[in-house]
């Protein structure tokens, strides 16, 4: 149990396009999901906290208009990177906090490459 | 100063060796502590939580020193499969659920 999926697992896109990444909790409900970004040889950095039915809260320095987050149900959060540029190329990982006990489970990550 | 600091290594040890990793955190309000393991190009996976009394899980022992704001992980009898990046993670008391990661310590166990 406690599986989190992400889709797509990898994506290559042209500069200026938008990319949507989905994070799903497959067998549990998650009121809160978190989005992280990891650049090569660096650690995970929290980008934003996604709350079901309300607006996401963003960490300092993360542009909310560039990284759109929607958490429309207890099992799905989406992150849309708008007008992606090469500097947005990174490994994006979500985690879902199980509503019943708040334990967090990570998705497998999405590797984004912007050309 | 980073909120969570680790020695990035890399640590290269032979099979069977004992290796210890250290981590310090700067925010005294931190309340929960963990060690995660991350394999190359994969998501982090929880290795163990860290408690004030210290805790052990098989070959792995974690210690927490709140006074010194210091966390450690000891791996005994290293296996090849232990090769990974080990991440020290804390949750601040005021930031419910938000994990703050250290940069990770790279471990390579060789035959």
Tokens read off for B51: 């408690």
Q: Do A109 and B42 touch (CB under 8 A)?
A: yes
* Shortest Cα distance, chain B CAs vs residue A73, angstroms: 19
Q: Please report residues of A whose CB lies closer than 8 A to that of B99.
A: 34, 44, 46, 95, 104
Confirm if B37 and B87 have CB atoms less than 8 A apart: yes
* Shortest Cα distance, chain B CAs vs residue A44, angstroms: 6
Give the residue-averaged pLDDT of A1-7.
90
For residue range B51-90, list pLDDT tens digits in order. Answer: 888 899 999 999 999 999 999 999 999 999 999 999 999 9
Give the residue-averaged pLDDT of B34-51.
92
Q: Please report residues of B whose CB lies closer than 8 A to that of A108.
A: 42-43
Question: What pLDDT was estimated at residue A54?
Answer: 86
pLDDT category of residue A35 using cuts at 50, 70 and 90: very high
Task: Return all residues near B15 (Cβ < 8 A) that are at least 6 apart.
Answer: B78, B79, B80, B109, B110, B111
Residue burial A63-81, b: 16+ Cβ < 10 Å; e: rest: eeeebbbebeebbbbbbeb
Residue of A37, A44, A48, A112 for testing the chain B interface, max B β-carbons within 10 Å: A44
Give the residue-averaged pLDDT of A87-110.
92
Distance of alpha carbon A49 from the chain centroid: 9
* Shortest Cα distance, chain A CAs vs residue B100, angstroms: 7
For residue range A49-98, list pLDDT tens digits in order. Answer: 998 888 899 999 999 999 999 998 999 999 999 999 999 999 999 999 98
Q: Do B97 and A42 touch (CB under 8 A)?
A: no
Q: Do B102 and A95 touch (CB under 8 A)?
A: no
In angstroms and rounded to an integer, the radius of gyration of the C-alpha atoms of chain A is 13
């Amino acid at each position: 149990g406690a599986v989190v999926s992400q889709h797509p697992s990898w994506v290559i896109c042209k500069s200026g396009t938008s990319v949507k990444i989905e994070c799903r909790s497959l067998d549990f409900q998650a009121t809160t999901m978190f989005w992280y970004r990891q650049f090569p040889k660096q650690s995970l950095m929290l980008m934003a906290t996604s709350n079901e039915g309300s607006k996401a809260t963003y960490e300092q320095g993360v542009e909310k208009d560039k990284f759109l987050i929607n958490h429309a149900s207890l099992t799905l959060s989406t992150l849309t990177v708008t007008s992606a540029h090469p500097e947005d190329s990174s490994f994006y990982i979500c985690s879902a906090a199980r509503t019943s006990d708040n334990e967090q489970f990570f998705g497998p990550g999405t590797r984004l490459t912007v050309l | 100063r980073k909120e969570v600091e680790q020695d990035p290594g890399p640590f290269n040890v032979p099979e069977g060796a004992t290796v210890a990793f250290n981590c310090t955190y700067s925010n005294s309000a931190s309340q929960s502590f963990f060690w995660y393991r991350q394999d190359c190009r994969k998501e982090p996976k929880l290795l163990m939580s860290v408690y004030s009394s210290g805790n052990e899980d098989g070959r792995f022992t974690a210690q927490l020193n709140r006074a010194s704001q210091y966390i450690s992980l000891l791996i005994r009898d290293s296996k090849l499969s232990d090769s990974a990046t080990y991440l020290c993670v804390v949750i601040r008391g005021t930031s419910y659920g938000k994990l703050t990661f250290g940069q990770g310590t790279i471990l390579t166990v060789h035959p």
